[in-house]
A and B are shown apart, each in its own frame.
Chain A
């Protein structure tokens, strides 16, 4: 595997289900990100992890719960979602060093549909 991988690629779940999205980066980076991409809207940054510590959380509802067990893996745990949470969820990684630019590498995304 190379780059950033995400599983599953597609997920359909009911509002009472619990599921998890997985992201893995094979680039040796030290920062990972979750984005939400909805139609006709800018990408929304949800969470940022740097060196396995969550450093930013853009006021995301608590029904989304991230987990970063090590620098290569990132999870997004989902529970009691709403239909408006249906979107493409993108994972990204970067090699962050303070004061430098931040080129992010993206995975293919998980297309989530909440019924």
Chain B
């Protein structure tokens, strides 16, 4: 069985400040890891993913996440946030042939002016 824990349900941060959204997972097999973002009144959009290779993955809008196998973590970071980054962020894990994605409970990022 696999599970995902997002340690913070709400993260308020001022514009242009750095942010880290934490995600820890548990799985008995090799995993694929994802971050999805959900803007108000919209569905989930894939932000970035780790499949294999380099443990640091980046998105086109400045977010990055690092896969840390020893700490079973996949934290999401951005060095300088914008008002438009305000959204809910979901971490998810998929393992091997599993059709399922297991999601965390989400972190609401609110960027303040």
Contact = CB atoms under 8 A, between A and B. Distances in A.
B49 A101 contact: yes
B43 A98 contact: no
**Interface size classification for chain A:** 20 to 34
Given A31-B99, A56-B99, A101 B94 contact: yes
B50 to A, nearest CB: 9
A55 B43 contact: no
Interface string A83-97: 000000010100010
Contact of A96 (B34, B99, B105): B99
B97 interface: yes
Q: Secondary structure at chain A's binding surface: helix, strand, loop or mixed?
A: loop
Contacts of B41: 108
Contacts of A108: 41-43
Given A31-B99, A106-B45, A101 B106 contact: no
Contacts of A48: 99-100
Interface of A: 4, 6, 31, 40-43, 45, 48, 50, 55-56, 90, 92, 96, 98-109
Given A31-B99, A104-B46, 11 more contacts: A4-B43, A40-B9, A41-B105, A42-B104, A43-B103, A45-B100, A90-B43, A96-B99, A100-B97, A102-B99, A108-B43
